[in-house]
Amino acid sequence: MYERPQKHMSKGGPKATRDVSEKLDQLGAHTVIFWGPQSGTAERMANLLGKKRDNVSASRHWQQTLLIRSLRPSPSSPRMRSKTTTAAVLTALAGFTSASSVSFGHDEGWSPMFSRQEMSSSAWPYGPFSTKGRDIVNSKGEAVTWVGVNWPGSGETMVPEGLEFSSVGDILDLVKSVGFNFIRLTYAIEMVDQIYERNGTDVGLEIAMIKALGYENGTKVTKEMVAKNPGWSKDTTRFEVWDKIAEEAAEREMYVHPDVHVGKAQWCCNKTDGNAWFDDYNFPVKNWHRGLQHTAEWAKKHPNVVSMSLRNELRRNINMTDPTIDYGYNWVSLVGNNTEATDAIYHTNPDILVSWSGMQFDQDLSALTSGLDLNRAPCYKCDPIRDRYTREPLIFDLDSHPWADKVFYELHLYSMSEDQDTDNCPIIEAELYQNGYNALGIDPPEACNITGACMKAVRQTPVVMSEFGWAQDETLLNDTLQGCIRKFTTQHNISWAMWSLTGSYRIRSGGQGVPDTWALSNYDWDGWQFPEGIEKWWKPWVAAMFGS
């Protein structure tokens, strides 16, 4: 333990760092804990030591303990006492790997290399972005509103859908014609896992298609993709496809937000798919961190990739082989794991914004926004913490982290919600407020008198509605939930992304060439599934979001 690093830093950072490095060698130790009230100093010491010693990776952990996935303190762990005291942790990677410290290619003999394109504050998108109160702001201090679509790429091929029907540019032109400026691009951590399995080589289109679709359909779809996208070949890789999407989106002044939708590529989501919660069988935390870091590194070369997500729709998981397993589905585990993951991203790319999702298919972040004790805060179907009444209060304090101005929240709402009202607009608004939109600093809706529990937020933080959706047909125009979401987001200028763009899927739940009635595009990706809805619903809504 290295106490009060600020005293040592005042004597000269390099000298203090050298002393610690030498002590590591003398003791053969793997971990140094910097203990003191100044998180910035501890972080600086950690980063300096990380640069001096090639075989270590620096990360900072929330409150006075090394967080594990369940965040259950061991008897030897320091107790969580003060919100302001922090620990910066350095973990030697040679022969040692933990859930919070992941080898990033070095053990495999390679490192992901993406050329950095510097952010320019003098040209769009005026990055890097940060948060300021309830707003996401660019480097000029201007509040930015995102309005867009989800573009799934997390299915078994792990290539964004539709590219066999239309080129990247044509698809983005279609999206832009509505006024959208934001693409939530979903992906699977398995896409990065396969790069590591192949010693740093990404997967080409033909291999990806054949593996997912079989030889006949795989080769057919590959040829169609290459024909529709000049410059591509059967060996064009998945991340090269991402490059093209990001570049073409930038030309149209559109943002791309990579979203970790699943661990193992497949249709999302349910409670038994292995992707539901931390260390579920398709959700190894070590791989998750590694995938996030890879994406954060990739984002450096694309100025319009100003944000990325941690994880889509966290939910209570059910292991069908042993339904009694307790994975610690509760607020404490959520915050501990999200903190570790954000540390990993921040260490790789401190410029990028990170979105945090909530509990119960990303419907609820109330414990964080309202400053509740994470041990006791109410939570739908959570695993109880049995000694919660004897534990000291544990309250998430975003401002205690070096990435406090890089985190925003995201929430979802669908008609199939298990625990939220979706048929009464006043109640819908009240529940949206209490589940996290109170962080926008808005007044409690009137129906809070009925629902109760509408606490004011402890901190203003941006909140985005990154998923919602409905069938793209005549029922869209008079559905209660969709109308309420439209009213709520417009009234409070809440950024959003609808589900989804995808008129057809190469493969979904075992079937190939599957149409989607909830999609904006038609099956062939050359027009709209419900043109009347585009003109009467989506275009007016988008225009209203931008004040026109």
Note the pTM of the prediction, 2 decimals: 0.81
> Is residue 191 located within the same domain as residue 309?
yes
Would 230 be classed as within a structural domain? Answer: yes
> Is residue 153 located within the same domain as residue 32?
no
Would 295 be classed as within a structural domain? Answer: yes
Whole-number Cα distances in Å, 353 to 412, 420, 466: 19, 29, 15
User: Rounded CA gap, 62 and 407, in Å?
Assistant: 14
Which run of H or of E encompasses 173?
Answer: helix 168-176
- Residue 462 identity: P
User: Rounded CA gap, 335 and 313, in Å?
Assistant: 14
Render 290-316 in DSSP notation, one character per residue. HHHHHHHHHHTT-TT--EEES-S----
Render 12-61 in DSSP notation, one character per residue. -HHHHHHHHHHHHHHHT-SEEEEEES-HHHHHHHHHHHHHH-TTEEEEEE
> Is residue 447 located within the same domain as residue 523?
yes
Query: Hey, which residues does 57 pair with through a beta bridge?
Result: 91
Model pLDDT, residue 323 = 72
Q: Where are the alpha helices (DSSP H) in 462-534?
A: 480-492, 531-533
Token pair listed for 341: 């993951």
**Helices (H) then strands (E): counts for the chain:** 17, 16
Model pLDDT, residue 109 = 52
Contact 357, 312 (CB under 8 A): yes
- Residue 56 identity: V
Query: Hey, which residues does 259 pair with through a beta bridge?
Result: 186
In 3D space, the residue among 383, 386, 388, 410 whose CA is nearest the CA of residue 317 turns out to be 383
> Is residue 12 located within the same domain as residue 151?
no
Low-confidence ranges of the chain (pLDDT < 50): 1-17, 34-45, 47-48, 51-104, 106, 115-116
Report long-range pairs for 374-383 (Cβ below 8 Å, ≥24 apart): 374/330, 374/331, 374/332, 374/335, 375/331, 375/332, 377/331, 378/453, 379/330, 379/331, 380/418, 380/419, 381/316, 381/329, 382/316, 382/329, 382/330, 382/331, 383/316, 383/326, 383/327, 383/328, 383/329, 383/330
Would 99 be classed as within a structural domain? Answer: no
User: What are the tens digits of pLDDT across the range 324-344?
Assistant: 777 899 999 999 999 999 999
Would 239 be classed as within a structural domain? Answer: yes
- Of the three residues 92, 107, 139, the one that is the final residue of a domain is 92
In 3D space, the residue among 487, 347, 461, 337 whose CA is nearest the CA of residue 399 turns out to be 461
> Is residue 50 located within the same domain as residue 167?
no
Helix (H, G, I), strand (E, B) or coil at 285: helix
Would 121 be classed as within a structural domain? Answer: no
Would 107 be classed as within a structural domain? Answer: no
- Of the three residues 62, 92, 122, the one that is the final residue of a domain is 92
Token pair listed for 173: 């032109």
Contact 275, 269 (CB under 8 A): yes
Strands (E), 483-542: 496-498, 504-508, 511-515
User: Rounded CA gap, 8 and 427, in Å?
Assistant: 55
> Is residue 345 located within the same domain as residue 237?
yes
- Residue 491 identity: Q
Residues 6 or more apart whose Cβ sits within 8 Å of residue 9: 16, 41, 44, 45
User: Rounded CA gap, 301 and 396, in Å?
Assistant: 32
- Of the three residues 38, 72, 92, the one that is the final residue of a domain is 92
> Is residue 394 located within the same domain as residue 440?
yes
The CA radius of gyration of the chain, in Å to the nearest whole number, is 23
Task: Name the burial class of residue 366, with classes exposed (0-12), middle (13-18) and buried (19+) by CB atoms within 10 angstroms of its CB.
Answer: buried
Model pLDDT, residue 258 = 99
Model pLDDT, residue 499 = 99
Token pair listed for 474: 């005549």
Model pLDDT, residue 78 = 30
> Is residue 343 located within the same domain as residue 402?
yes
Contact 246, 304 (CB under 8 A): yes
> Is residue 274 located within the same domain as residue 407?
yes
C-alpha angle with apex 545: 456 to 362, nearest 5 degrees? 50
In 3D space, the residue among 269, 202, 213, 198 whose CA is nearest the CA of residue 238 turns out to be 202
Model pLDDT, residue 324 = 74
Model pLDDT, residue 321 = 74
Q: 398 is in which domain, residue-wise?
A: 130-539
Whole-number Cα distances in Å, 478 to 301, 336, 436, 537: 43, 41, 26, 10
> Is residue 68 located within the same domain as residue 148?
no
> Is residue 142 located within the same domain as residue 44?
no
Number of domains in the chain: 2
User: What are the tens digits of pLDDT across the range 167-225?
Assistant: 999 999 999 999 999 999 999 999 999 999 999 999 999 999 999 999 999 999 999 99
Would 55 be classed as within a structural domain? Answer: yes
Would 381 be classed as within a structural domain? Answer: yes
Contact 205, 232 (CB under 8 A): yes
> Is residue 161 located within the same domain as residue 58?
no
Model pLDDT, residue 73 = 34
The CATH number linked to 322 is: 3.20.20.80
